[in-house]
Amino acid sequence: DIQMTQSPSSLSASVGDRVTITCRASQSISSYLNWYQQKPGKAPKLLIYAASSLQSGVPSRFSGSGSGTDFTLTISSLQPEDFATYYCQQSYSTRFTFGPGTKVDIK
Amino acid sequence: EVQLVESGGGLVQPGGSLRLSCAASGFTFSSYWMSWVRQAPGKGLEWVANIKQDGSEKYYVDSVKGRFTISRDNAKNSLYLQMNSLRAEDTAVYYCARLGFRLGDAFDIWGQGTMVTVSS
């Protein structure tokens, strides 16, 4: 199975900060990489699909890049509602895998 | 409104069985791959199973293969997960998720989740 890693596992940031989260796949997954946001007690929400496409309704401060094995999620100016856990997920193989998550909290 | 609503969770003893259901509304259910994703308490997300639009292809995470069965009834706009030989490590919130027209798509719609607790 394809293994996904994320870094950092957690970070503390302030409102207005630029935040970057990295996701790495154990083998090339082309652009089959998706990003989700999850708040406590809630279902995950799709932010970015196919590595860099913004899901409808998601603010433009979220962006994704990368292909092959290395990917990034960037929040250009962190807002209070962005404090959450972020997961990457590959949909390249028939058996999907998620990264372990990155928790973004308030500094 | 596009919506997925899970049901069927609860407390079950190790070795027992449970059947989860997911009712879909607001979209053409039969046009989409569908999936189950779970999250153990305090842990990350784990993909469990996918099923093709017509049920002809199914894929499972290794840890549930041979114990869980994903199925669907397009006439009833419903997705199911039959869980047998349950173990303590199957304790989790189980989410139903819409995958897309293609297997390589993303989970764009999620249910609210149903809790499964495996304990004696």
- Amino acid B60: pLDDT: 98
- Amino acid B75: pLDDT: 98
Pairwise CB contact (< 8 Å): A96 & B47: yes
Pairwise CB contact (< 8 Å): A89 & B110: no
Counting every residue written for chain B, the total comes to 120
pLDDT in tens, A7-31: 999 999 999 999 999 999 999 999 9
Q: Mutate one of A35, A38, A96 to test the B interface: name it (highest B CB count within 10 A).
A: A96
Closest residue to B45, CB basis, from A32, A95, A98: A98
Q: Does A52 touch chain B (CB under 8 A)?
A: no
Per-residue pLDDT 10s for chain B (120 aa) are 999 999 999 999 999 999 999 999 999 999 999 999 999 999 999 999 999 999 999 999 999 999 999 999 999 999 999 999 999 999 999 999 999 888 889 999 999 999 999 999
CA distance A59 to chain B (A): 16
Task: Locate the DSSP E strands across chain B.
Answer: 3-7, 10-12, 18-25, 33-39, 45-51, 58-60, 68-73, 78-83, 92-100, 109-110, 114-118
Phi, psi of B30 (to 5 degrees): -70, -5
Separation between Cα atoms, residue A1 and residue A94, nearest integer Å: 9
